[in-house]
Each structure stands twice: as C-alpha cells, then as structure tokens.
Amino acid sequence: MSGEDQLSSALGYRFESAELLQRALTHRSFVNERSAAENNADAAATSSGLLHNERLEFLGDAVVDLAIGHLLMQKLPRAREGRLSKLRAMVVSEASLARAANAISLGEHLRLGRGEEQTGGRDKASILSDAFEAVLGAIYLDAGFDRAADVARTLLATLVDEAVAGELDRDHKTRLQEVAQAELSDVPRYEVVSERGPDHDKVFEVAVFIGERELARAEGRSKKGAEQQAAKAALALMERDDS
C-alpha cells in the first residue's frame, strides 16, 4: 500500500486532488531548502511551483473550530458558552491536535527540510498540529465544508469525549512518570483490575504500580480515564509521603 493509500485509509477520505494533499503535507522548511536563491519563502514557492501548507492550515483551523464547536453543542445542549469555549480550546490545542495527528501517523507523510528532519520535526507537536489543520483545510477545498467537518469530528471524537468527561486537560500520567523516574528511577505500570457494566456503559477499575508496589486504584468510564485517576491518586499519596 502506498503512502497516499495509507493516509487516505487513516483519514477515511481520498483526495480528488493529489496536489492539494501534497501541499498540505509540505512544511515551509521543505520549500525554503529548495528555493535557496530566494529570500522570501512565498516568492520562492511561487517561482519554483512549490507551496507550503500554512495557508491551508489557516483554513483548517476554522474548519476544526466550527466542527468541534457544533459537536460540543450537540453533546451538551444545556452547556453555557463559557464551558463550550473551554472544552473546544482543549480539543483544538496544539497538544491535542498533535495527538490526533500521531494517531493517523501523519508525521510519516510530511515533507520536511533536512534541518527539520534531523532535529526530529516529524515528532514536533507544533509541526504535527499545523499539518493536521492543513490536511483538513485541503479536504475543505477538495470536497467542501461538510466532508471536512465529518473527517474532523471522526478523528477528534475521542478527544471530545475525554474533554467532556474532564479527562483531557489533566495529564496526571505524565506527571507521575516524571516523578517516578526522578525519585525512584522507575516507571509506572497500569493494570485493569476489573470492568463492569454493559458494553455501552462500562466502568473500568485500574491499579497503578511502581515496581511490585501498588500505589493506588481508581475507576473511570474508559481505561484511559481510569488510568488518569489512578495516577492522580498515586501522586497525592507520594506527596503525602514526602511531607
């Protein structure tokens, strides 16, 4: 399967214009390195036939904002504007969009300059989130807003659910890993202890261990949510032990 086929499968969308997709995947550094004779990247892009993805990113940003705003209004019909705005900001943050980009392996398909390639550009949150928006902007130009919004809602559905559940902005797992590595030279391990309820309404109980020691347990509507709550409880325990 070609790279374009792989990405189309991950997106759930196949472009009519291969040129639009290529542009969405092209970082400014790629254009700059191939237009060394020009000082201005936009002028260089025009003269060389290469265009980077920043204008598509501008369009994609608007698509994501509107698509996710609409989805949140549907999920939370009684929520006030302030809460909706806060939740949307969480979902469309750089970190969240980079996570969504990683879920479809978008970094593997980017066209980067040699400098960005050598400094880990394919894993940079800023580059990934911008490219994610650019791809959605390209879908908007290729097939219209409704199709682009459908793709955005599908790719960001998990993040929306986590935001609504209050789990997206509380990365206790990362904090616990940092503390465990610094203080104990070890990393946390999570195990699902039990699960109950029907498939559409499951509750998971997760325990977190460091080495063989169980630090805490917690429940959540998803495994990730339960892991976050277990990490939060473990952090509280470690802070009490240190005091």
Q: Which residues contact 30 (CB under 8 A, 6 or more apart)?
A: 50, 52, 111, 112, 113, 116
State whether residue 219 is helix, strand or coil. strand
Q: What is the CATH number of domain 172-242?
A: 3.30.160.20
pLDDT of residue 95: 82
User: Which long-range CB contacts under 8 A does 117-123 form with residues at least 24 apart?
Assistant: 121/27, 121/29
Query: Does the fold of domain 172-242 match that of domain 3-164?
Result: no
pLDDT tops 90 at residue 229: no
Q: Judging by DSSP bridges, how do beta strands 188-196 and 203-210 pair with one another?
A: antiparallel
Length of the chain (residues): 243
pTM of the model: 0.69
Q: 58-103, pLDDT tens digit by residue?
A: 999 999 999 999 999 999 999 999 999 989 998 998 888 988 998 8
Q: How far apart are CA 115 and CA 31, in angstroms?
A: 12
Given this model, what pLDDT does residue 170 score? 60
To the nearest whole number, what is the mean pLDDT of the chain?
A: 88
Q: What are the catalytic residues?
A: 61, 133
Of 31-40, 113-122, 154-163, 164-173, give the lowest mean pLDDT range.
31-40
pLDDT for the residue numbered 36 = 62
Beta bridge partners of 214: 209
Name the residue among 68, 168, 31, 157 with its Cα closest to residue 104. 157
**Do the Cβ atoms of 136 and 64 come closer than 8 Å?**
yes
The pLDDT of residue 48: 47
Any residues with CB less than 8 A from the CB of 42 and at least 6 apart, and which?
none
Q: What is the pLDDT of residue 42?
A: 52
Would you say residue 45 has pLDDT above 90? no
The per-residue pLDDT for 46 is 44
CATH node for 3-164 = 1.10.1520.10
- Domain locations in the chain as residue ranges: 3-164, 172-242
Phi-psi region of 12 (alpha: psi -120 to 50; beta: other; left: phi over 0): left
pLDDT at position 169 is 63
SS3 assignment for 143-212? HCHHHHHHHHHHHHHHHHHHHHCCCCCCCHHHHHHHHHHHHHCCCEEEEEEEEECCHHHCEEEEEEEECC
DSSP-derived secondary structure letter, 221: S
Give residue 162's pLDDT: 87
